[in-house]
Amino acid sequence: MTLHVDNLTLARGGVPVLTGVSLTVEPGQALILRGPNGAGKTTLLRTITGLQPPLSGQITGAEDQIAYAGHADGLKATLSVRENLMFWAQVFGRTDITAALDAYALHPLADRLAGTLSAGQKRRLGLARLLVTGRPIWILDEPTVSLDKDAVAQFAAAVRAHLGQGGSALMATHIDLGLEADVLDLTPFRAHASARAGASDEAFL
Ligand X SMILES: Nc1ncnc2c1ncn2[C@@H]1O[C@H](COP(=O)(O)OP(=O)(O)OP(=O)(O)O)[C@@H](O)[C@H]1O
Interacting residues with ligand X between 69 and 98 (CB under 6 A): none
Contacting residue, 21, 32, 35, 75, with ligand X by CB under 6 A: 35
Contacting residue, 28, 38, 134, 188, with ligand X by CB under 6 A: 38
Q: Are 87 and 76 contacting, i.e. CB atoms less than 8 angstroms apart? A: yes
Q: Are 133 and 100 contacting, i.e. CB atoms less than 8 angstroms apart? A: no
Smallest distance, Å, CB 32 to ligand X?
A: 13
Q: CA 7, 188, 193, 31 torsion: positive or negative?
A: positive
Smallest distance, Å, CB 151 to ligand X?
A: 20
118: Cβ–Cβ under 8 A, 6 or more apart, which residues? none
16 binds ligand X (CB under 6 A): no
Between 42 and 84, CB nearer to ligand X: 42
Interacting residues with ligand X between 40 and 69 (CB under 6 A): 40-43
Strands 137-141 and 168-172: parallel
Contacting residue, 2, 60, 78, 200, with ligand X by CB under 6 A: 200
Q: CA 93, 123, 39, 15 torsion: positive or negative?
A: positive
Q: Are 47 and 40 contacting, i.e. CB atoms less than 8 angstroms apart? A: no
Binding site for ligand X (CB under 6 A): 12-13, 17, 35, 37-43, 196, 199-201, 204-205
